[in-house]
Amino acid sequence: MSQAHAHTPVDTAEQADLRAAVAAFGRDNLSTPAPDLWAKAGKLGYLGVNLPEAYGGGGGGIAELSIVLEELGAAGCPLLMLVVSPAICGTVIARYGTDAQKSRWLPGLADGSLTMAFGITEPDAGSNSHRITTTARRDGSDWVLTGRKVFISGVDIADATLIVGRTEDTRTGKLKPCLFIVPGGTPGFSYHHIPMELAANEKQFEVVMDAVRLPADALVGDEDAGLAQLFAGLNPERIMTAAFALGMGRHALAKAVDYARTRQVWKEPIGAHQAIAHPLAQAHIEVELARLMMAKAAYLYDAGEDAAAGEAANMAKYAAGEAAVKAVDQAVHTLGGNGLTEEYGLAKLITAARVARIAPVSREMILNFVSHQTLGLPKSY
């Protein structure tokens, strides 16, 4: 399986080399604890491949960063915070941040010495970002931020959180989205752990902001470009979630194929039986199709084709989530009882694979997006 996945037809020579190097790094560090793995990956330049070279990054794009996450996942050691810290926060700051914000945050995000969480989801808003109630009001030259966020990954290990709030447009009175960098330990900013039935290194948190006072320079970019800035982070988030899912699916399939080749109950290995072989082949095909859509989305995003990238990123996230769930399910089924043992490590992926169907946006909301934006069908909401 690993040879078949050495590179995709859409990889450049440099991307193929990156893919091979990260795959080898993942295999060599399978038992390395996540914080140490993060630090090692940062030193090798893998965490910041998408960030500008002027700030210590690799000068690549989301295509390169998705390769890093996918290959780490395929090796069995994915780093979920890659989705958040360099992909969402790093991209937004690189594209819209001031020179001071870039100098303060990008070098650390690139080498892994700094980590940034991302806060958009709210208890009563779910996938409806128009219902976000976290508000920022001006007080002199400062901003005062009040609100709540839920399912925020890695706040406990983050040096800051990029918070999506809303400010009032002085001309229209309407609320518009804005992004703020809130350093850890800022007075009024607190969080508590949400217990999850999910085997993951990164924990989930509820965040409460009680009149959090921020200086003027906490605002990222132009106050009037909120939506553009927000989607600059959300499209990479979808592409990277696809990479996370596809790495997991490939990891599960590799284990199942290895088992099916060697497990012998009758005369031939069980992989000789079409009832075992064909579902694995189907799962492999679906993973490969989703990988192509992910590559397309990353290509469009890195080329600055934001509208087309939005459509492709949503489709890639949808396809990868479905492919990962099916791949994991078939892998567990191939191993039978062994698929539920700690020894093989597949059972924990049953829950983890579903995350890509749910987060950062549900598959139903993606179907809504495609219905409205691509097919031009009327909205039901």
Q: Can you give the CATH number for the domain in which 89 is found?
A: 1.10.540.10
For the chain, the domain total comes to 3
Among the candidates 93, 115, 137, a domain finishes at 115
Domain assignment of residue 333, yes or no: yes
Are residues 166 and 237 part of one domain? no
Are residues 299 and 233 part of one domain? yes
Among the candidates 86, 115, 144, a domain finishes at 115
Instruction: Give the per-residue pLDDT at 225.
Output: 66
Q: Can you give the CATH number for the domain in which 186 is found?
A: 2.40.110.10
Domain assignment of residue 5, yes or no: no
Are residues 178 and 128 part of one domain? yes
Are residues 69 and 36 part of one domain? yes
Domain hosting residue 37, numbered range:
13-115
Are residues 101 and 61 part of one domain? yes
Instruction: Give the per-residue pLDDT at 3.
Output: 41
List of long-range contacts for 4-11, beta carbons under 8 Å, 24+ apart = 5/74, 5/250, 8/291, 8/292, 8/295, 10/292, 10/295, 10/296, 10/299, 11/67
Q: Can you give the CATH number for the domain in which 367 is found?
A: 1.20.140.10
364 contacts: CB under 8 Å, gap ≥ 6:
none
pLDDT in tens, 311-360: 999 999 999 999 999 999 999 999 999 999 999 999 999 999 999 999 99
- Taking each continuous run of H as one helix and of E as one strand, the counts in the chain are 11, 7
Are residues 369 and 289 part of one domain? yes
Instruction: Give the per-residue pLDDT at 97.
Output: 95
Instruction: Give the per-residue pLDDT at 125.
Output: 76
CA-atom Rg of the chain in angstroms: 21
Domain assignment of residue 247, yes or no: yes
Are residues 47 and 84 part of one domain? yes
The Cα-based distances of 235 to 62, 294, 314 in angstroms read 10, 11, 8
Q: Are 148 and 123 in contact (CB under 8 A)?
A: yes
Query: Tokens in use for 166?
Result: 């809303």
Domain assignment of residue 140, yes or no: yes
Helix (H) or strand (E) holding 139: strand 135-139
Are residues 85 and 203 part of one domain? no
Are residues 206 and 167 part of one domain? yes
Instruction: Give the per-residue pLDDT at 228.
Output: 78
Instruction: Give the per-residue pLDDT at 175.
Output: 78
Helix (H) or strand (E) holding 135: strand 135-139
Domain assignment of residue 7, yes or no: no
Are residues 365 and 247 part of one domain? yes
User: pLDDT tens per residue, the chain (381 residues)?
Assistant: 444 444 555 799 999 999 999 999 999 999 999 999 999 999 999 999 999 999 999 999 999 999 999 999 999 999 999 999 999 999 999 999 999 999 999 999 999 999 999 999 998 876 677 788 999 999 999 999 999 999 999 999 999 999 999 987 666 767 788 999 999 999 999 999 999 998 888 899 999 999 999 999 999 987 776 677 888 899 999 999 999 999 999 999 999 999 999 999 888 999 999 999 999 999 999 999 999 999 999 999 999 999 999 999 999 999 999 999 999 999 999 999 999 999 999 999 999 999 999 999 999 999 999 999 999 999 988
Are residues 307 and 242 part of one domain? yes
- Output the pTM of the full model: 0.94
Instruction: Give the per-residue pLDDT at 176.
Output: 82
Domain assignment of residue 256, yes or no: yes
Residue 173's region, left for phi above 0, alpha for psi from -120 to 50, else beta, is: left
Are residues 358 and 241 part of one domain? yes
